[in-house]
Amino acid sequence: MSDPICPLCLRHIPAEAKQSLHHLIPKLKGGKGGPTVLLHQICHSEIHAVFTEAELAREYSTVEALRAHPRMAKFLSWVAKRPPTFHARSAGGRRKRSR
């Protein structure tokens, strides 16, 4: 059986790679039981470093919307050059924005 593909960075996710499920609509915003995608942990961490839960629910509830955001696009271009098992802490930490 072949490794799953991360829908964000499009790299394979080998069994030994850090990985997690991302709720496309955050559980706290009504997404419990909703659609999820399997991601590299580093890709998942970057999502939560860039966006608030409200932003994820309101504007970024699809893989396409996440990939199109300029900061995510820059990150994805960078991480695509790394091996599929690469992991590092997100540089930005959790980012809170007020609107």
pLDDT tens-digit map of 13-26? 999 999 999 999 99
Average pLDDT, the chain: 90
Whether 31 is covered by a domain: the verdict is yes
Provide CB contacts within 8 A for 93, sequence distance 6+.
49
Query: Measured between alpha carbons, how far is 59 from 54 in angstroms, rounded to an integer?
Result: 8
Q: Phi, psi at residue 60, to the nearest 5°? A: -125, 50
Whether 5 is covered by a domain: the verdict is no
Number of domains in the chain: 1
Residue 8 corresponds to which tokens in the numbers above?
A: 């964000």
Query: Measured between alpha carbons, how far is 50 from 76 in angstroms, rounded to an integer?
Result: 13
* pLDDT classification of 98: cutoffs 50, 70, 90: very low
Whether 40 is covered by a domain: the verdict is yes
Tell me the residue range of the domain where 64 lies.
19-79
Q: Could you tell me the pTM of the whole model?
A: 0.87
Whether 4 is covered by a domain: the verdict is no
Whether 63 is covered by a domain: the verdict is yes
**Contact at 8 Å (CB) between 47 and 76?**
no
Per residue in 85-97, pLDDT tens? 998 875 555 555 4
The helix or strand, by DSSP H or E, that contains position 48, with its residue range, turns out to be helix 41-50
Per residue in 40-57, pLDDT tens? 999 999 999 999 999 999
